Every structure is written in structure tokens, then in C-alpha cells.
Chains A and B, each alone.
Chain A
Amino acid sequence: MKNFSGKALFLDRDDINTDEIIPAKYLSEITKQALGPYLLEDIKLDGFMPRIDIQEKSVIITRTNFGCGSSREHAAWALEVNNINLVIAESFARIFRQNMFNCGMMAVELPAKTMDRIFRDFAGKETYLETNLEKNIFIITAKQDQLEVSFSISDFDRALVMSGGWVEYADSKY
């Protein structure tokens, strides 16, 4: 199973699409590793400097409809090779969300109110997020501030995370 805890990167925008996560010109790569340096290269977000701001981050926290647009699993892979296996958002585009779980990664939705609170209290601070998959909670910490947030994922999604992805799961079952 992959790691789902670490420093958080806040992307305070709706509708971040997969062309922004990994531009199409890199789709001619045929290894996941090659995508690494280009993660979020074309994102439209004031003041964001991909190569600097992504460093050492393991969790992305963002707004609605993250991962819309192209079906490219390269978006999930570009995250994976940067050691980011968890994205928390108010909502996701269907294909991106499925791609994440299919790779044994997690895309977790939280209610708008909770997301607003997380952004209000933690965005802009050095924030650490710990995932507890047994209790289904995130523990979010920045210096003295701490917030515990419960989340839910379906049994199917959990099975994909536990088994390491959809290929192994499907091949053993169908």
C-alpha cells in the first residue's frame, strides 16, 4: 500500500484540468518517471511556482472538479512519481478520480464546509496531514493548530487501495 501522509500543498482553485496537471506535449513519454519534472507546469494559479512549491509535498488539497478534461492517467502518474498519492478536494472529475484509485492512490472528497475550514485555517502555513485508514480520519497539523477530519471511501475504492490497483483486483476476479 502507498503512503498517504505528509506535507500538504494547497491549490486554491476550482476546475484544475489534466492539461494543467501534465501538458499534452509530455504524453509522448512512455515511462511514468519521465513525467516527474512537469507536474502542474501549466497551472493557472497566481504566484504558484511548480518546481519550488511541489518540493517535499505528499498531499494536495484543492477545491471542486479537480482533474477535469482529458482522460490521461499521466496526471495521476505525474503525482505518483512526485510521491503525491493523495488528493483531497470538494469534488473530482470522474475519470481522474477513478484513475487515482485504479493506481492504488486516493482521491477523497470532503464537504464544502470542511474544505473551507481547512483552507481558512491551514492554507499558506506549513501543514502536515496524517491519514489513518483504519479510523478513516485525517489529522491536519500546522504548529499548534490541529484539526481531525473524518472521511469515507467506498468498500470498492478501499479494496483497490489495499490490493494496489484495478489490474490485480480484476485479473484475480474476472
Chain B
Amino acid sequence: MGKTIAEKIFDAHHVDSPAEDIHVIRLDAVFCHEITTPMAINDLVSRNKDRVFDTDKIKAVIDHVTPAKDSKTAEQGKILRDWARRHNILDFFDIGRNGICHVLFPEKGFVRPGFTVIMGDSHTCTHGAFGAFAAGVGTTDLEVGILKGVCAFHYPSTIKINISGRMPQGVLAKDVILSVIGRIGVNGATNKVMEFTGSIVDAMTMESRMTLCNMAVEAGATSGICLPDITTVEYLWEFIINEYSDKKAALDDFSRFSSDSDSRYDQVIEHDVSRLEPLVTFGYKPDQVKPVTEMGTIKVDQVYIGSCTNGRIEDLRVAARELSGQKISDSVRGIVSPATPKIFGQAMEEGILKIFLDAGFCVTNPTCGACLGMSNGVLAQGEVCASTTNRNFNGRMGKGGMVHLVSPATAAATAIAGYITNSSLFKG
């Protein structure tokens, strides 16, 4: 019997099985941000265990509320900053160099095929796009990760999502993952790894694969995962050029972490996207999705383009294509947050920021802010937002606000129209 990629990663990192089916695994990377880490730091200090297992394997960023909006968020930043300094954590990204963790850390080359990654953030599953096992955890798991470099999980059971067909023009990775979540439900992959395969995934950029894996947790999954291939090698090449003689050698090495053809899956789902249309959520759960064309006329007060789901350069490019030469509706507040300084710079060089500004968007610095209603675009009671983020929970972007999750193309078209509508890129 063969093994899945997740099983192979677990086998390669096994430390202990303290109980049946519980595997304590060694961690290759522990990522930290200023919302969930300070409580871990304070607890370690109070236990007289203020140590870190490996300064190189810990990466930290201030991203959720930056610049700090008040004394409390300033204090959270300070706790993380002081901790990074006293432990000599060199990969600490403070203001001016900071970006959204799940976009910034891949961009820095911190995630490799076969890695095990945890972070005190549910969207850590994003990093599975590189063929890594990457799981969001709570503060206590994070604390033990920081101290000991280990974490306990059930041995992975995997749902394979084989995505095939012909992707219609104007349908994006966001629509694909929304369609998968709509199909299996918010509880459909709880305690499972979602392995994304098939011709559609093979043809996707790393950015699109990250969008796909990012929302695996919205179906309850522990991690999303894609199999490493030449696209993975190309993305990572600048970081690994000294480790391999050529790209083929890197690909051969990474291929150790791939699923065998006779692997055992909990479930295999064939998902054909040939007839898929751009989707939008309509309720308070990410599995409540329907085609934009069936949505009726839903007016919006705000359009938000950004987040660890859709704040990458290809997201901004597709939105800018729609916005080019256009003005957004007078009744809409448009906000775009490029996810990292690098993306911000690229968008500037490519003229994308000018398109956003000319269209009437507010361009903010890289931050998670509005996605979870902490800063930079919180909704008022009764307001409606079309958002490229990942959660439409009640109150998510502000108490009493309504969030409709969409792709960046749909978001841009919606900003122009003032109501939720398909982009001109979709000809369906």
C-alpha cells in the first residue's frame, strides 16, 4: 500500500506516539504574528521557560493590525518585537517590511516541499500549496512549538480533490475553492487533509494554489496540500539555487514528497470545473455559495480587495484589468491592500496602483486589518461588503455587517457597478 504526501511528511518527522493515532512531529517552521503569539510569550515568561527551540526556524511578523491602531495593539507589537530581539530571531518583519504572514513567508522562500509548519493562525493551511503539511494551531500548540519544536496531530487522513475540466475564462482559483467548499460543506473535511490534484491544479500558478489551499480550513481541513512540481521549483528557485545543480535535481528531490498512485484516501472527489461560474457567498457560512448570476441585485457599501486569500499580485492584476479606465460607483468605498511590500512595489511599477487610485480606490499598506474587522475598513451596522477574503461569519468585518465572499475580478466589477455582478472577463 502506497502513502499520501501527508503520510510521508509525517513519517519523515515522527518523534513519538504518546497514544494510539497521536503523532508528535518535528517542526521545520514555526510562524508567529502579534495577535496569537504575545499570550504564548507571556506564558513562557511566567513559567520561567522563555526559550526558543531554534532561532532560524522561527519567523515572526506584525501583520494583523499595523501600524498599531491603539495602545493595546501597540503593546501586542511591542511584546513580539522585544521577544524577537532578545532571542535574536533574525526573520522578524516589522513595519515597513511587514506583510500578511501567509503571503510574506512564502515570498521569502520559507516554505519548502516536505516541510511541517505551524502557526497560531487558521489560514496556515495556505502553505500546503508548496507540498508542505501546514496547520493552524492555537496559542498553546504554538507555545510548545516555540519551546520544543514539536506538535501533536492525528495521523493524516486525506480527502483527494481532483480538479479537472476546462476552466472558463473569468473563473478564478477563488471560485474553484468556493465551489469545493459549497460542495462538501464547512464540516466536510474536519480532521482531514485536503489534497488538491488534477489538470486544473497542475496548470495553476503558486499564487492560485495558495488561494486554493488558503480556504481548506473553511471546509474544516487541517491542511490543504498540492503536490510539488516544476511550478513549485520555479517559484522557489531563487532561494534554492545554491542547493541544487539544476531545476531537475530540485524537482527530483522534491518528488520524494508526492502521493503514491496506490495511496489510500478517505475520499476521492472528482470536481469538474468546466461549467463553473464566478461564485459569491450569500449567508454567514463559506459553504453558502451560488453563482453571481443568481444573486439578484445586492447593493454594496464597500468592496475590499486583499487578505491572505486574494491580496497577491495576480489578484491585483486581474482586478486592475477590470478597473482600468473605469470609476467605481459613488456609493461604494473601495479598499485595496496589497499583501506585502514586494507586491505593493510590483503593483506600483506595473501601474496597477494608479489604476486603483484613478478608479477611486483607497490603497492601504499591507495588513490583515479589515478581513477580521480589526482595522482599516471595519463595517458599520447594516453595511454590506463584497470582499476577496475568506470568511463571511456574522460580524466578521464589523458587528452587524454583511460579507459576501467573491473573487478579485468579481470584486472589481462590483465596485464599478455598486452591486454584486460578474466581471467583463467572464463571458458565460
Contacts and interface: CB of A to CB of B under 8 A. Distances in A.
B147 A102 contact: no
B138 A95 contact: yes
Interface in B385-400: 391, 393-396, 399
Nearest to B74: A28
Interface stretch (A46-54, A115-123, A151-159): A151-159
A165 B144 CA distance: 11
B190 interface: yes
Given A64-B187, A159-B18, A166-B152, A71 B120 contact: yes
B49 interface: yes
A72 interface: yes
B20 A154 contact: yes
Contact of A174 (B64, B148, B374): B148
A71 to B, nearest CB: 4
Interface in B97-130: 120-122, 124
B70 A154 contact: no
A45 B225 CA distance: 35
Nearest to A14: B187
A28 B73 contact: yes
Nearest to B75: A30
B70 A76 contact: no
Interface stretch (B34-42, B227-235, B254-262, B415-423): B34-42
A23 B391 CA distance: 13
Interface in A14-29: 14-15, 17, 19-20, 23-25, 27-29
Contacts of B76: 28, 30
A73 B374 contact: no
A171 B141 contact: no
B140 A103 contact: yes
Contacts of A93: 187, 190, 220
Nearest to B373: A24
A114 interface: no
Contact of A65 (B19, B190, B394): B190
Contacts of A156: 18-19, 22, 152
A27 B374 contact: yes
Interface string B24-37: 10000000000110
B19 A98 contact: no
A28 B374 contact: yes
B427 interface: no
Nearest to A27: B35
A173 B42 CA distance: 22
Given A42-B399, A94-B220, A29 B72 contact: yes
A102 B187 CA distance: 22
A69 interface: yes
Nearest to B140: A102
Choose among A30, A32, A95 the residue with the greatest number of B CB atoms under 10 Å from its CB: A95
Given A15-B187, A25-B373, A73-B39, A44 B284 contact: yes
A98 B18 contact: no
Contacts of A65: 186-187, 190, 220
Contacts of B372: 19, 24, 27, 70
A170 interface: yes
A58 interface: no
Contacts of A29: 72
Interface string A95-127: 110110011000000000000000000000000
Interface string A53-97: 000000000001100111111001000000000000001111110
9 contacts: A24-B372, A27-B374, A44-B394, A94-B191, A102-B138, A102-B141, A167-B49, A170-B150, A171-B148
Interface of B: 15-16, 18-22, 24, 35-36, 38-39, 42-43, 47, 49, 64-65, 70, 72-73, 75-76, 79, 120-122, 124, 136-141, 143-144, 147-148, 150, 152, 186-187, 190-191, 220, 222, 284-285, 372-374, 391, 393-396, 399
A-B CB proximity, top 6 nearest: A156-B19, A99-B138, A73-B138, A102-B140, A42-B395, A28-B72
Given A170-B24, A174-B24, 20 more contacts: A17-B391, A17-B393, A19-B372, A19-B391, A19-B395, A20-B395, A23-B399, A27-B374, A29-B72, A42-B394, A65-B190, A65-B220, A68-B220, A73-B140, A91-B190, A93-B220, A103-B140, A166-B140, A167-B43, A167-B140
